[in-house]
Structure formats: structure tokens, C-alpha cells
């Protein structure tokens, strides 16, 4: 035993452990509270913006419309940050509570792709699905959150003219979902930090790509809750692939 | 035909005004309350056609008001739409268990809220009509 530890009694260690646990709980409660408190002023911001810019609003000058669209974009960013924090707090405090059912990952992936298609189109990225039926025991809402997060990252870090491909395949005992992009890639030394909370790659920060650094840690928690695993393969300047593997299930299960 | 009265309760003045503005535009007479006790009193005296209640309010919260409305024969069938800043499943579940008909998560689009209000009023209106379909069914 190292000398520094020799003088610490078992009771002291237990007390310290307890204290750290309480601090952790407090932090989660704080995040949840702050997120809720942020939602109220955001309600006024987005609500009154809608009244100002909606179909029955007074005509606006070009400059007013431009300024309001900046306010609106910022409010959207703030809202997505609040949602991520709240989701993270939920994941950290109670864990991911699953509402399990048998579902086809291919169908789910296609739904998520359809929702992301307008973003891909507006950014000139070809978003394609290559799927075959793949049944898993899972929670539809959490798994959709997972796919949405992976898709949103892939689209965020890929430039115009690039591709994002989603593959869902079924093997003997497992099903796999892969999201590949032809984006900026992730440096090898940063790949194992990717799933830590608030971690952002140097490239992401330098290029001022918006994000909270929470998405992949939320993805990791969802994957863990489904007894799955996630891995990443990436080459700087040529692209990244995120591969999630889950145990497969019988359709009749 | 008189304009339907909609009761709106929220302890945030700006949100109260926002909902009032939008619903007035849709042709409702909007009554406002800043706490649950006032909301409950207004629901009993002003015969609103629908109540929009914030979940987190002083005195009585939105869930308590909903339960009190359901427990009183005079207001038991009043449609209730909850506004909630808590988006987790269990919060929504608690709201529906208390007897709310629908809920909207903050921040919401005023437009979408107005649509929910109008659809709840339509459902309530249809439920209040004697169903012609049922009357034609012959007894065995």
C-alpha cells in the first residue's frame, strides 16, 4: 500500500465516497433545475418572435427581419443546449429508463433520415440509407435520439458536396447501425476522448462548429443501456464512421 | 354567437400575455390568472369553455387545479390543456393522470398552442352533442 493511503481509514474513505456521491447528485439536480428555469424565458423569446414574424405580423424592414432571424437562430441554439443538458442530467441521475419493445432499426433509421433530409439538402450533402430489417429490443424514443445525434454530427462536420451514408445490417447474433461521413475526420489522439462529456475536438473549436460536446456522451449512455457497443473509425480530412452494435432479437420475442 | 371563454393561468406575466394575445387573435375571450387558486375560482364562476394551465404555479399548481376541477361535477368535463417546462415522460404522465386532456411543452409555438386549443374545443363540442349514430342502433 502506498504511504499516502496508509493513514486513511476505511471509515474516512466511505465518508469521502458518500460526499462525492452527494456532490454528484447535487450537480445533476442543479443542471435539471437550471434547464427548467431557462425554458421559461425561452418560451417568451420564441413565442414573441413568432408573433413578430408570423403571417399576421406587421410588415418588417429588411434589416428588422434579418435581426429577428439572428435572434431566432440564437434562441434555437440555446434551446438545443438546454435540451442536451436536461437529457444529460436525466441520463446521469436516473440512468436511461427504457421502455422496451421489439423494433426494426432499419425503419427507425429511415424515419430519422427523413427528418434530417431537409438539413442535408440545404447543406448540399447527399444523405443515403442502405438498410435491411434488423430487429432489436429497444426503446424507440432513446434509439431515435441516438440516431439523430449521430446524423446531426455527421452533417455538421461534412462540407458541401460530401456524403453521409447510414447502413443498418443484421448478422447472426447482432445488428449494426453505421453512420459514415466524408467530413473533416477526427485526429487519432482525440478519438478515445470523443465520448467524454463536453469534449470537443480541436478542429470543431477552430472551425467554430456549433455544439455542446454532449451529443456523443448521450449516445454512449443510450448504447450502454441497450447492452450495445459503439466504435469509431476516422481519418483526418477524409471522414468518420460510427458503428453501433446491439444484440439482435427474434421478431416474435 | 358569444365568443368562447378560455381561462389561462401562468405565474409568468409575459407568457400569460403571449398566450392571451395569440388566443384573442383566434377569437376567444381570454381570462387570465397568475396562480392556481385564482384559476380555480375563475373556472367555477366564469364558465370557461377550456382552461390552459401552467404546471408550476403558486398556491395550487396546475396538477392540483386539474384534480380539483375533475372532482367538481360543475367543472368535471372542462377541457384542460397543461403547459409544462418539464418534458420528461413521467411529468407528462402525471399531468394526464391528474385528468388533463392534453399538454404543451415550453417553449411552445403560440400558433401550435392555438391549434391545440381549437382542436380540444372541437372534441369537447362533439362529445357534448347527442350521437346520432348511437340512436339508430336497435336494441337486441
Task: Please tell me the distance in Å from B34's CA to the nearest CA on chain A.
Answer: 15
CA distance to partner chain A, nearest, from residue B108 (Å): 6
Nearest residue to B63 (alpha-carbon basis) of B105, B12, B97, B107: B97
- All three cell numbers of A195: 465520448
Task: Report chain A residues whose CB lies below 8 A from the CB of B110.
Answer: 47, 50-51
The dotted CATH code for A101-247 is 3.30.565.10
Chain A contact for B104, CB < 8 A? no
The predicted structure's pLDDT at residue B136 = 44
Q: What is the CATH number of the domain that holds B13?
A: 3.40.50.2300
Classified as helix, coil or strand, A97 is coil
Chain B residues within 8 A of A48 when measuring between CB atoms: 14, 18
Q: Kindly state the DSSP code that residue A66 receives in the 8-state scheme.
A: H
Contact A150, A242 (CB under 8 A): yes
Is B106's CB within 8 Å of A50's CB? no
Whether residue B74 lies within 8 A of chain A, CB to CB, comes out as no
Report the residue from B21, B89, B107 with minimal CB separation from A43. Answer: B107
What's the structural domain count of chain B? 1
Convert the pLDDT of each residue in B83-127 to its tens digit. 988 766 677 788 889 999 999 988 999 999 999 999 999 998 888
- Residue A90 has a pLDDT of 75
Q: How far apart are the first and last CA of chain B?
A: 41
Backbone angles phi, psi at A214, to 5 degrees: -105, -25
Q: B112 touching A, CB under 8 A?
A: no
Assign domain A3-93 one CATH number from 3.40.640.10, 1.10.20.10, 1.10.260.40, 1.10.287.130.
1.10.287.130
B71 lies in a domain?
A: yes
Reduced 3-state DSSP string for chain B: CCCCEEEEECCCHHHHHHHHHHHHHCCCEEEEECCHHHHHHHHHHCCCCEEEEECCCCCCCHHHHHHHHHHCCCCCCCCEEEEECCCCHHHHHHHHHHCCCEEEECCCCHHHHHHHHHHHHHHHHHHHCCCHHHHCCCCC
Q: Which of A152, A150, A149, A159 is nearest to A184 (CA)?
A: A159
- Return the SS3 of A159: coil
Integer Cα distance of A110 and A239 in angstroms: 22
**pLDDT tens digits in sequence order for chain A, 253 residues long:** 455 555 788 889 999 999 988 887 887 777 777 777 888 899 999 999 999 998 888 899 999 999 999 999 889 888 888 888 878 877 777 677 788 899 999 999 999 999 999 999 999 999 999 999 999 999 998 999 999 999 999 999 999 999 999 999 999 889 999 999 999 999 999 998 898 887 888 888 887 777 778 889 999 999 999 999 999 999 999 999 999 999 988 765 4
Instruction: Please state, in angstroms and rounded to a whole number, the distance separating the CA atoms of residues A170 and B69.
Output: 52
Instruction: Check CB contact under 8 Å for B107 and A86.
Output: no
Which among B18, B22, B107 has CB closest to A42? B107
Neighbours of A69 (CB within 10 A): 12
Q: Is residue B106 situated within a structural domain?
A: yes
Return the H-helix or E-strand segment holding A140: helix A140-156
Q: What is the residue extent of each domain of chain A?
A: 3-93, 101-247
Amino acid A127: pLDDT: 96
DSSP 8-class letter at A57 = S
Domain of residue B90 covers: 5-135
Of the candidates B89, B73, A45, B65, the one whose C-alpha atom is nearest the C-alpha of residue B81 is B65
Residues of B in contact with A100 (CB under 8 A): none
- On whether residue B63 sits in a domain, the answer given is yes
Q: How far apart are CA A142 and CA A105, in angstroms?
A: 12
Q: Mark yes or no for CB contact B85/A44 under 8 Å.
A: no
Residues β-bridged to residue B31? B7
pLDDT for A134: 93
Alpha-carbon distance B24 to A226, whole Å?
47
Report yes or no: B9 and B36 within 8 Å, Cβ to Cβ.
Answer: yes
The predicted pLDDT at position A209 comes to 79
Kindly tell me if the per-residue pLDDT of B132 is higher than 70: no
Report CB contact under 8 Å: B107, A46. Answer: yes
Q: Which residues of A touch B15 (CB under 8 A)?
A: 40, 43-44, 47
Whether A45 and A75 have beta carbons less than 8 Å apart is answered as yes
Whole-angstrom distance, CA of residue A59 vs CA of residue B98: 43
Of B25, B85, B110, the CB nearest to A47: B110
Instruction: Give the integer Cα–Cα distance in Å for B69 and B71.
Output: 5
Farthest-apart Cα atoms in chain B, separation: 58
Taking contacts as CB-CB distances below 8 angstroms, the residues of chain B near A79 are: 107
Amino acid at each position: 500500500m502506498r504511504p499516502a493511503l496508509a493513514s486513511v481509514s476505511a471509515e474516512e474513505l466511505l465518508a469521502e465516497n458518500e460526499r462525492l456521491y452527494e456532490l454528484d447528485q447535487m450537480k445533476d439536480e442543479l443542471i435539471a433545475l437550471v434547464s427548467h428555469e431557462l425554458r421559461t424565458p425561452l418560451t417568451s423569446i420564441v413565442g414573441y418572435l413568432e408573433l413578430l414574424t408570423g403571417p399576421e405580423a406587421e410588415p418588417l424592414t429588411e434589416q428588422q427581419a434579418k435581426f429577428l432571424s439572428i435572434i431566432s437562430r440564437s434562441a434555437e441554439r440555446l434551446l438545443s443546449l438546454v435540451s442536451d443538458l436536461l437529457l444529460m442530467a436525466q441520463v446521469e441521475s436516473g440512468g436511461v429508463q427504457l421502455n422496451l419493445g421489439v423494433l426494426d432499426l432499419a425503419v427507425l433509421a429511415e424515419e430519422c433520415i427523413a427528418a434530417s433530409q431537409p438539413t442535408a439538402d440545404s447543406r448540399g450533402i447527399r444523405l443515403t440509407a442502405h438498410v435491411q430489417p434488423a430487429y432489436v429490443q429497444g426503446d424507440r424514443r432513446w434509439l431515435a435520439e441516438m440516431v439523430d445525434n449521430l446524423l446531426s454530427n455527421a452533417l455538421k462536420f461534412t462540407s458541401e458536396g460530401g456524403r453521409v451514408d447510414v447502413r443498418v445490417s443484421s448478422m447472426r447474433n447482432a445488428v449494426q447501425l453505421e453512420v459514415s461521413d466524408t467530413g473533416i475526420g477526427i485526429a487519432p489522439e482525440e478519438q478515445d476522448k470523443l465520448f467524454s462529456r463536453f469534449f470537443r475536438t480541436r478542429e470543431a473549436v477552430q472551425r467554430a462548429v456549433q455544439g455542446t460536446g454532449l451529443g456523443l456522451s448521450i449516445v454512449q449512455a443510450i448504447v450502454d443501456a441497450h447492452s450495445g457497443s459503439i466504435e469509431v473509425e476516422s481519418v483526418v480530412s477524409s471522414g468518420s464512421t460510427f458503428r453501433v452494435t446491439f444484440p439482435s432479437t427474434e421478431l416474435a420475442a | 354567437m358569444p365568443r368562447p371563454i378560455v381561462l389561462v393561468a401562468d405565474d409568468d406575466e409575459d407568457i400569460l400575455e403571449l398566450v392571451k394575445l395569440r388566443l384573442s387573435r383566434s377569437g376567444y375571450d381570454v381570462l387570465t390568472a397568475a396562480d392556481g387558486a385564482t384559476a380555480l375560482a375563475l373556472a367555477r364562476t366564469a364558465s370557461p369553455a377550456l382552461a390552459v394551465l401552467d404546471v408550476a404555479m403558486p398556491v395550487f399548481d396546475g396538477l392540483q387545479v386539474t384534480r380539483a376541477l375533475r372532482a367538481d361535477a360543475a367543472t368535471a368535463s372542462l377541457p384542460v390543456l397543461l403547459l409544462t417546462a418539464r418534458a420528461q415522460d413521467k411529468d407528462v404522465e402525471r399531468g394526464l393522470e391528474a385528468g388533463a386532456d392534453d399538454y404543451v411543452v415550453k417553449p411552445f409555438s403560440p400558433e401550435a398552442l392555438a391549434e391545440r386549443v381549437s382542436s380540444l374545443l372541437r372534441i369537447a363540442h362533439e362529445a357534448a352533442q347527442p350521437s346520432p349514430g348511437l340512436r339508430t342502433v336497435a336494441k337486441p
